[in-house]
A and B are shown apart, each in its own frame.
Chain A
Amino acid sequence: MTRLLLTASAATILLGIGGAMAQEYTLGVSNTVQGNGWREEMICAIKAQALDSGMVASLNIAHRNTDAAGQLEDIRNLIQAGVDAIVVNPANPDGINAAIKEATDAGIVVVAVDQAVTEPSAYVVSNNQEEYGYLGAKWLFEQMGGEGSVVYMRGAAGASADNDRDTGFKRALAEYPGITIAQEVFTGWQQDQGKQQILDLLSTGVPFDGVWTSGIDNVIVDAFVESDAPLVPIVGADNAGFVGQLATVEGLVGAAVTNPGSIGGAGVAVALQILGGDAPAEQTVLVTPDLWDNVSDEGKASIAAAQNPNLDPEWPVSVSIEGFTTYTTEEIIACKGPGE
């Protein structure tokens, strides 16, 4: 009888451990931009991937508008909350290293997504922002025949992603000596601000032959159409609204450079992989952007395949990342995490 009991309790303990291993992780998330379509998609990808994996008991999301110092506070709060892993979109590459080090010292897995961090104990799954700037600019200058002036609509002044893209843009600019910058503006990654800036340029009659945008794109096309101005080649990101315009707006020559917000989901996948004891060989995974133009057949095919009217126009159409995310498009749109 005793023996039977012992066996039974041993079995229960084993089962208990097995159950714990299958679904007991708590994931922390830290993000410093709230109310932006791209970042909201990132958060939804994190939720969807956490739910789909079946290995996450709960998500602890610190998601607000703040600076690197505020993100240090958020990461330290997540350490206090005792999470198993933290997926973080860093405010900048150096500013949050101290808190990341404290987290990894406490045995917490840290995965930085979208932008890299310089703290070596963190894993990085990042979009290559310099390449983003370079690819689009090179295509644009090629379209303009290597001659003329371009409106350069950047992101937010002082943001590191904007700085990296600027490096890529300037690299392309150096390769095309016939191209000049007609006007350089910071949209602050705000739709209304970008639209106002291009409307001002159109109404003042400053001549230009192309527009490069840092992802505030569909409102730029809208501005051209609304003010009946002749269209020039426009480069944007793979936001659903812009990708739709590339297929439908008559006379628009343009290209979308991919910059998946679903990188958050890839970060969760990598974090869970590491927690499961299977760390990736490389500490840094760089997701290289693609360029889809509506001139080449290949580009047209990509644009046609990417159309998704169910998405918010500000959301990137690349809602999943092959080899990392496992959720369906419906799941990311539903935006539900574990326990919601």
Chain B
Amino acid sequence: MTGVLNRYGWSLGLLAILAGLLIATRIIQPNFGVSGLDSLARAALPFAFCTAGMAIVVIAGGIDLSIASVMAVAGVIAALLMQQMGDASAGLVVLVVLAAGIGMGVINGALIVLTRGPDIVVTLAMLFVWEGVALLILNAPGGAATPWMRELVVGGLTLPGVPAAMTMWVPRAFVVLVALVVIIWLPLRRSKLGLSIYAIGSDQHAAFRSGVAVGRTRIAAYGFAGLFAALGGLSITLSTGIGEPIPGPYLLASVAAVVLGGVALTGGKGGLLGPIIAVFILRTLRLDLTLLSVDPNVTTIIEGTIMVAVVMAGGLLAMRGRH
């Protein structure tokens, strides 16, 4: 029991904060219900995928500043191909987009390994490169998203053989998110590669001496970040119905969620559960501030302050735990 608490303590704390925020939302807006949860989950989707990708590179001891631009490239490729190739090949388009995402991530990682440049510098440069690529593919918002695929993340869950009333309150967007993260992350975390990612993040030299292929592991971590970024870009295109070449505000939001989610920026510590709960906390916070009609210029100050407060409180708790 204490083992579970130690391992998941941070995430459980975040879950408690999220529950508190959802109760607060209900108090502020008594009508908040199924449709509110649905729109919350859909808003969280691109942030959550982006954060998952960022968390993996941060665990590996790096950081990917180009992640929002990679999302933009994935989003415009998806919108353009879906428009050109028609509804029937939408599944193929998704595979192409995911492959492109992995490819961009691998290029980022390979450049870092080959040039031996700091992650932050190389990915900053790649931020501009991928932004230009997105604009070359689509110089203004355009393209289209396949309608049946857009419907996949809209509305509540229905399961055959289970009464709709029991499952309808669970947003499909949430199910899609959990399913994809579980399918990609759980096997990875338990594999040798997953262990290596944690190893190079916590101590690169020790990992090297224990026979971990540091370079290849790093490239793989960036590849997974690219994969999640592509899922994020895809979810933007599916929610808006078009491709947008200008990257949205996902970079800083994902770093914030990763930190809030208990992943150490120095690498080697944390998982994906905490950061994804953190994404939902930040989205619910934004919802509550809108419901309360707080001055929009004050909103960002409040968001930032709460983030600092939570991280500081967590740091204090962690210090106390060590004594």
Interface residues of A (CB under 8 A from B): 34, 58-70, 72-74, 76-82, 91-98, 156-160, 162-163
Contacts and interface: CB of A to CB of B under 8 A. Distances in A.
Contacts, number: 120
B140 A58 contact: no
A177 to B, nearest CB: 24
B283 interface: yes
A67 B249 contact: yes
Nearest to A67: B248
14 contacts: A34-B297, A67-B246, A69-B46, A72-B42, A76-B43, A77-B286, A80-B35, A80-B39, A81-B290, A93-B141, A96-B240, A97-B241, A156-B246, A158-B246
B236 interface: yes
Contact of B29 (A66, A82, A91, A158): A82
Contact of A77 (B31, B135, B290): B290
A60 B290 contact: yes
Contact of A92 (B134, B236, B244, B286): B244
Interface in B231-283: 236, 239-242, 244-249, 283
A72 B239 contact: yes
Nearest to A339: B293
Contacts of A163: 139-141
Contact of A158 (B32, B39, B244, B286): B244
Contact of B249 (A58, A61, A66, A76): A66
B110 interface: no
B289 to A, nearest CB: 9
B296 A80 contact: no
B290 A159 contact: no
Nearest to A164: B140
* Leading 5 A-B pairs by shortest Cβ distance: A67-B248, A73-B43, A76-B39, A95-B240, A63-B296
B141 to A, nearest CB: 4
Interface in B41-58: 42-43, 46
B39 A73 contact: yes
Contacts of A67: 236, 244, 246-249
A259 B189 CA distance: 55
A96 B242 CA distance: 9
A97 B240 CA distance: 8
A122 B249 CA distance: 26
B139 A157 contact: yes
Contact of A80 (B29, B46, B141, B245): B29
B317 interface: no
Q: Is the interface of B mostly helix, strand, loop or mixed?
A: helix
Nearest to A60: B293
B162 to A, nearest CB: 26
Contacts of A69: 43, 46, 236, 239-240, 244, 248
A98 B241 contact: yes
Q: Which of A64, A96, A97 has the most CB of B within 10 A?
A: A64
A73 B283 contact: yes
Interface in B264-321: 283, 286-287, 290-291, 293, 295-297, 299-300
A120 to B, nearest CB: 15
A70 B291 CA distance: 16
Contacts of A59: 293
Interface of B: 29, 31-32, 35-36, 39, 42-43, 46, 134-135, 138-141, 150, 236, 239-242, 244-249, 283, 286-287, 290-291, 293, 295-297, 299-300
Given A68-B242, A73-B39, A160 B141 contact: yes
Contacts of B32: 80
Contact of A62 (B46, B140, B242, B290): B290
B299 A64 contact: yes
B72 to A, nearest CB: 9
A70 B43 CA distance: 7
A62 to B, nearest CB: 5
B24 to A, nearest CB: 13
Contacts of B286: 73, 77
A72 B173 CA distance: 14
B290 A68 contact: no
Nearest to A74: B290
Contacts of B299: 64
B48 to A, nearest CB: 12
A136 B113 CA distance: 51
Contacts of A64: 296, 299-300
A158 B141 contact: yes
Contacts of A66: 248-249
Given A58-B293, A82-B31, A162 B140 contact: yes
A61 to B, nearest CB: 5
B146 to A, nearest CB: 14
Nearest to A162: B140
Contact of B246 (A76, A80, A81, A159): A159
A55 B285 CA distance: 29
B236 A158 contact: no
Contacts of A162: 140
A23 to B, nearest CB: 17
A70 B42 CA distance: 10
Given A68-B244, A157-B135, 5 more contacts: A63-B297, A72-B239, A79-B35, A80-B31, A158-B139
A15 B138 CA distance: 57
Contacts of B236: 67-69
B240 A68 contact: yes
Nearest to B299: A64
A193 B88 CA distance: 45
B287 A92 contact: no
A190 to B, nearest CB: 14
A4 B245 CA distance: 69
Nearest to B46: A69
B307 to A, nearest CB: 16
Contact of A94 (B46, B240, B247, B291): B240
